[in-house]
Amino acid sequence: MTSLHIPRERDNDYSREAAAKRRRFVEEQTGAALEHTSKFSFDPAILPGNIENFTGVVQVPLGFAGPLRVNGEHAQGDFFVPMATTEGTLVASYNRGMRLTRQAGGITTTVVDDAMQRAPVFAFNNAREARDFSLWVTENFSAIKAAAEVTTRSGRLRNIEQYSASRMLYLRFNYTTGDAAGQNMTGKATYAACQWIADSYPPGIGYYFLSGNMDTDKKHSALNTLHTRGKRVVAEITLPRQLVIEQLHTSPEAMYAARKTSQLGGLMAGAVHNGVHPANGIAAMFIATGQDEANVAESHASLVYAEVTPDGDYYYSVTLPSLIVASYGGGTGLATQKECLEALGCYGQGKAKKLAEIFAATVLCGEISLGAAVVSEEWVSSHDQYGRNRP
């Protein structure tokens, strides 16, 4: 009887031969030809820790936009930004925003906070026991911190937030994680801390779960918007009035009127942030640079602020409160992703904040470009020119 399970090839799980065997199995089971997914140039031996049942590759078209001029504390100069996407017009739109902001002198970027969370929940017989536990946690923070940090070389427990409800106490452990995104790091560290807590708390604990969902891992939340998850980055620029008129075919007043109107529409619709389309640029860069693509759910949250200055220029800023990016670990070391990070000068240790500033500046360019296209009534025509693909 033929097995209906994907062949695992336990002794050589990531070889080209094992991948070919899996493709043949899928072709036999589905009748599809996996010709193009079989073609890749890298050594699959680099894949352990990144994927299981390795069978081949899915190739996403890559374009570079730029140069993007960033006046940051960590990213300084001009950058060509890799964007992997199947959406026509996307790279062209971001490229337009980069040209405009470079002519205006570049985008100022600031990393204002850095934290990654795991949020366990502890349950007790009643609310008073939960309250007593909260006091004990505060008194024993140093010991909890020491227990957590035994598991990691670069993670540091910064603080523990406390939220009580019913007979439960939710603890939100906040870590700095160096150049890694840090979800697995914080999970392991918090697990060690929870074990120490369970063994050390004198009255005993009813039960606990490693996550009570207040870290809202890979989900948007207002808590992460307020308290930061990953990097909190601000990108800002003042666009000269004449540049807006000449390059964007509109005016600062019209751009500002559209922003106010769209914010009201977003409020009525129940939108979770007031950005235009930050997920577009973030997703394209995530795929190109080997980030965890599911983190787009958190990272796309944006807080946009704009105003017409007394001189008639246009001030515009984007705050990304929960941008989760890494320059080290995870998918950043894969062959093509590493090349894209190296093109940015952002591969390896000591580069995560630089990468975060480039992400934020890129998002700002996309926000301005699309916003202007809507106001100047060029949105549809640009998609007709660059985005039509009907095979």
Q: What is the CATH number of the domain that holds 253?
A: 3.90.770.10
Look at residue 80 and tell me if it is in a domain.
Answer: yes
Sign of CA dihedral 363, 273, 238, 357: negative
**Cα distance between residue 278 and residue 322, in whole Å:** 12
The predicted pLDDT at position 5 comes to 66
Residue 9 has pLDDT above 60, yes or no: no
Same domain, 177 and 239: no
Same domain, 41 and 79: no
The catalytic residue among 292, 307, 339, 378 is: 292
Domain that holds residue 195: 120-209
Look at residue 125 and tell me if it is in a domain.
Answer: yes
Look at residue 154 and tell me if it is in a domain.
Answer: yes
Establish whether 87 is a catalytic residue. Answer: yes
Confidence of residue 4 (pLDDT cuts 50, 70, 90): low
Residue pLDDT, tens place only, 204-213: 999 999 999 9
Which of 128, 132, 135, 184 lies closest to 160 in space, CA to CA? 135
Tokens found for residue 380: 């549809």
| Mean pLDDT, the chain, integer | 93
Establish whether 357 is a catalytic residue. Answer: no
Same domain, 359 and 260: yes
Domain boundary among 151, 176, 209: 209
The predicted pLDDT at position 376 comes to 82
Does the predicted model carry a pTM greater than 0.85? yes
Domain total for the chain? 3
Cβ neighbours of residue 83 closer than 8 Å, sequence gap 6 or more: 62, 63, 64, 65, 90, 91, 94, 281, 284, 285, 288
Residue 337 has pLDDT above 80, yes or no: yes
Look at residue 226 and tell me if it is in a domain.
Answer: no
The catalytic residue among 9, 87, 149, 161 is: 87
The predicted pLDDT at position 13 comes to 84
- The CA-based dihedral angle spanning residues 177, 181, 183, 186, taken in that order and rounded to the nearest 10 degrees: 0
Same domain, 379 and 336: yes
pLDDT, mean of residues 7-27: 83
| Cβ(236)–Cβ(108) below 8 Å | yes
Domain boundary among 209, 242, 265: 209
Same domain, 235 and 186: no
Residue pLDDT, tens place only, 270-311: 998 999 999 999 999 999 999 999 999 999 999 999 999 999
3-state secondary structure the chain: CCCCCCCCCHHHCCCHHHHHHHHHHHHHHHCCCCCHHHCCCCCHHHCCCCCCCCCCCCCCCEEEEEEEEEECCCCEEEEEEEEECCCCCHHHHHHHHHHHHHHCCCEEEEEEEEEEEECCEEECCCHHHHHHHHHHHHHCHHHHHHHHHCCCCCCEEEEEEEEEECCEEEEEEEEECCCCCCHHHHHHHHHHHHHHHHHHCCCCCCEEECCCCCCCCCCCCHHHHHHCCEEEEEEEEEECHHHHHHHHCCCHHHHHHHHHHHHHHHHHHCCCCCCCCHHHHHHHHHHHHCCCHHHHHHHCCCEEEEEECCCCCEEEEEEEEEECCCCCCHHHHCHHHHHHHHHHCCCCCCCHHHHHHHHHHHHHHHHHHHHHHHHCCCHHHHHHHHCCCCC
Look at residue 6 and tell me if it is in a domain.
Answer: no
Same domain, 72 and 190: no
Same domain, 165 and 280: no
Same domain, 353 and 377: yes
Same domain, 108 and 124: no
| Cβ(237)–Cβ(364) below 8 Å | yes
The predicted pLDDT at position 230 comes to 96
The predicted pLDDT at position 211 comes to 96
Establish whether 292 is a catalytic residue. Answer: yes
The catalytic residue among 227, 249, 273, 383 is: 383
CATH code: domain of residue 165? 3.30.70.420
